[in-house]
Structure 1
Amino acid sequence: MPILFAPLIAIALGAFFAWLARGELARHEASAVASRGFGVVALFAIFVYAPIVGYFVAFHADWAYLYWIRPRAMASAIDLALVLASGGTVLLGFLAAARWARIERLGPVAIIGAVPVAVVLSLAMVWQRRLSTSATFAHFHGDFGTEPITSSVLGRGVLLMDVLGLAGIVWCGLQMRSMGRRRPHASAGSPLSGSGPLSGPSKRWQKRKH
C-alpha cells in the first residue's frame, strides 16, 4: 500500500480490533497495554502489517510514495522508520479506541476508525491516476513507459498483499472473539466454586432429604 496511506489505515484497523476486543477489555481493569488483545494486535502489526508496507517500499518504492518524491534520493533509514511507524500506528489506534470499546461506546470508536478511512478514500479519488499506474518516478513524470496496475507485477503484488492482510485481520478477529467468550475463573469463596459459604447449607439440605 502507499506509505502515505499506511498510518491512516493502521489507525482504522486498530480501532476495529479494539471494538472486537471489548469483552476482554471490559473484564480487566488494568491498562489496555496489559491486555491480551494488545498482544494480538502487536503480533499483527509486527508480522503482518509492517511487512506488507515494507514490501511496497522495498520493491515498488516509486508507487509506494505515489511518485511525489524520488525514493532513491532518500536514505534507507527513513524508509525503515516509516515502515516501523506504520506498524506502530496500529497499536496507537487500538489504544485510542480501547477506553471507549471497554464501555461499549460504539460512536467514538466508529469516529476513530471512520475518519482515517474517509481521508484515504478522498485522497484515493484525487490521486486515482497515481494509484492505478505502474511506473518509475522518471517514467511517470515523463509520461512514457507506464502501464496499468492491473496488468503489472505491482498489481499482482497488491493482490497478494491484500490476501495476506485479510488473512491477518481474520486471524486477529478470531482471537478477539475467542477471548471475548472466555469467562473469568471462579474464586474459592464465590458461589460458582464448589466451596464457600453456600456449600455447607446445601450439603445439610441434601442430608435432611435422605
Structure 2
Amino acid sequence: MPAPLAPLLGFTLGVLLAWLARPEDGPDERPGASSWDRPTLAVALYALFLYAPVSAYFAVFAADWSFAYLVDGRAIPSALLLLLVLLDAAAPVLGFLAGRRALARRALPALAWLAALPLLVALLPLVVLHARFGVDASYDQVQSDFGTRPLPGSPLGYAILWMDALLVAGAVFTARTLSTIEGRGAAPLPLHARPGRPLPEVLPPDPASDEPPRFLGRTRGPR
C-alpha cells in the first residue's frame, strides 16, 4: 500500500476491529481499568508483526510507487521511512483504543467518524492519482514516459495482491481472537440475577428465633 496512506488505513482498521469485537455489554471502562488488556495486546501483535512489516515492504522496496512517482525514492530520507513504519505499527492500536472508548460511551456517530474520516483522506489521493498508482515502473521511467507497464500482471501487482491477502487474513484472525477473548472475559450472572428469572421471595424472620431469613422453595441445610 502507499507508504504515506498506510497509517490512515491502519487507524481505520483498528476502529473496525473494535467494532467487530465489541462485547454485548460494552468494553470495560471502569475507573482504574488499564487500556493495555488482552484485546489491545492482540491488536498490537497484529500491527507489529503483520501490518507494519507489510507497509514497510512497499516503503523500502517500492518507494517510487508508494509515493506515486512524485518523488524519487532514492532521495527520501531513511528517517522519514522509519517514522512511517513506526506510525504503521501504532495506527491500528490507536484506532482500536479510540474505537473502544467511543463504544464505551455509546457514541456511535463518533465511532463512524473515527472510521470514515481517515479512510476518506486516504482514498482521495488514490482516486486523484489512480493513473500513477496503476503502473509499475521507476521514478525515472515515469518522468521520461518510457518502459512503464500496467500494474496488473506485474511483479509489483502480484506483491500487492499477496500482501493485501495477508493483511485481510490477519485482520479476520485478529477479529475472531478478539471475540474469543471478550467471550471468555464475560463472567456468568448468578442464577437468581439472570434476565427473565424473578428473584426468590424472602420470608420475614421470626422475632422469636435467631435463624437467618430463608428463601421460598429452598430447604435449609444442616447447620
Partner of 2:178: 176
Matched, 1:92 2:105: no
Asked if the contact 2:136–2:151 (Cα under 8 Å) also holds between the matched residues in 1, the reply is yes
Spell out, residue by residue over 1:62-120, the C-alpha distance to the aligned partner (whole angstroms, 9 max, x if none).
Answer: 10111121121233232122111122111221222221112343221111001111222
Give, in angstroms, the shift of residue 207 of structure 1.
5.6
Partner of 2:3: 3
Distance 1:31 1:53, change over 3 A: farther
Distance 1:71 1:179, change over 3 A: same
Give, in angstroms, the shift of residue 155 of structure 1.
0.2
What RMSD, in angstroms, separates the aligned Cα atoms of the two structures? 2.7
Matched, 1:205 2:218: yes
* Distance in 1 of aligned mates of 2:170 and 2:91: 16
* Distance in 2 of aligned mates of 1:84 and 1:15: 18
Q: 1:2 corresponds to which letter in structure 2?
A: P
Alignment of 1:75-154 (within 5 A): 75-154=77-156
Moved beyond 4 Å, runs of 4+ = 189-192
Give, in angstroms, the shift of residue 183 of structure 1.
4.7
Asked if the contact 1:63–1:135 (Cα under 8 Å) also holds between the matched residues in 2, the reply is yes
Q: 2:4 corresponds to which letter in structure 1?
A: L
* Distance in 1 of aligned mates of 2:95 and 2:48: 15
Partner of 1:26: 27
Distance 1:19 1:154, change over 3 A: same
Distance 1:38 1:32, change over 3 A: farther
* Distance in 1 of aligned mates of 2:166 and 2:84: 20
Question: Of the two, which has the highest radius of gyration?
Answer: 2
**Which of 44, 59, 62 is residue 61 of structure 2 equivalent to?**
59
Give, in angstroms, the shift of residue 56 of structure 1.
0.7
Q: Tell me, what secondary structure is at the counterpart of 1:26?
A: coil
Distance 1:124 1:178, change over 3 A: same
Q: Which structure carries more helix by proportion? A: 1
Q: TM-score, normalised by structure 2?
A: 0.79
Give, in angstroms, the shift of residue 41 of structure 1.
0.9
Partner of 2:13: 13
Q: Structure 2: any 5+ residue segments left out of the alignment?
A: 194-201, 203-212
Distance 1:86 1:31, change over 3 A: farther
Asked if the contact 1:26–1:103 (Cα under 8 Å) also holds between the matched residues in 2, the reply is no
Asked if the contact 1:101–1:109 (Cα under 8 Å) also holds between the matched residues in 2, the reply is yes
